[in-house]
Homo-oligomer: A and B are copies of this chain.
Amino acid sequence: MLTMSTLKKSHAEFHHGDLQAALVTAGLRHVEKHGLNSLGLRQLALVTGVSPTAVYRHFADLEHLKAAVGKASRETLGKMMLDALKSAPANKTAKGAIARFLAIGGAYIDFGIKKSNLSEIAFICFDSPELEPDSPNPSELLMASLTELNEIGCLSDRNYKTAPTIAWSMVHGFAGLAAQGATGNSGETLASKRDVLMAVLKSLDIK
């Protein structure tokens, strides 16, 4: 009988170890370099050194695989936001809380600009079907920053109710537009990352 093990694979590496994770990280790497459109099941299996149908032991569908890559992409964004938070002042003052909000929101926007391919897959298929929530979770990190602003006293309870949606919409929208180069086309009129974040603060009556 002509089997795979008699040809190339040693008995020890017939099983891959952790294929599920390998596929996701390979998918992440591919999307980052070549975009979402060209992300294929077979090609991904080839890169990972595995048979195309092996993928179906870990993902029901290509769509589910994409959802997993999307989740991973959101999680790298979450890590970037946490990093930005660490590089920000830690003072428990209004000024400190504002600085942390700027850092977190800025990281979100930077992600959209510098990793536009990842940003694309991160926010398509938002609702991963029965896939445990991201950790760290970008939108919750943003919300936590607003909660802190509220607790420290520079965000009224009234504004706090709508703050998450407003902040998220603005940051998310600017990141998305920037990812497509749509923010620098109108000659005179354009706003930078800082302008956008300051606009959020102003709309929330902060400072």
Contacts and interface: CB of A to CB of B under 8 A. Distances in A.
Interface of A: 37, 63, 120, 123-124, 126-127, 139, 143, 160-166, 168-174, 176-177, 180-183, 186, 188-191, 195-196, 199-200, 202-205
Contacts of A37: 63
Given A37-B63, A199-B203, 14 more contacts: A139-B182, A160-B189, A161-B188, A161-B191, A162-B199, A164-B189, A164-B190, A165-B177, A165-B191, A166-B170, A169-B183, A202-B202, A202-B203, A202-B205
A186 B196 CA distance: 23
Contacts of A202: 202-203, 205
A174 B169 contact: yes
Total copies of this chain within the assembly = 2
Contacts of A63: 37
| Residue from A160, A189, A196 having most chain B Cβ neighbours under 10 A | A189
Nearest to A188: B161
A88 to B, nearest CB: 22
Contacts of A123: 176, 180
Contacts of A173: 168-174, 176
A128 B176 CA distance: 17
A190 B200 CA distance: 15
A166 B191 contact: yes
15 contacts: A37-B63, A126-B180, A160-B189, A161-B190, A164-B191, A165-B177, A165-B183, A168-B173, A169-B169, A169-B177, A169-B183, A170-B170, A172-B177, A199-B203, A199-B204
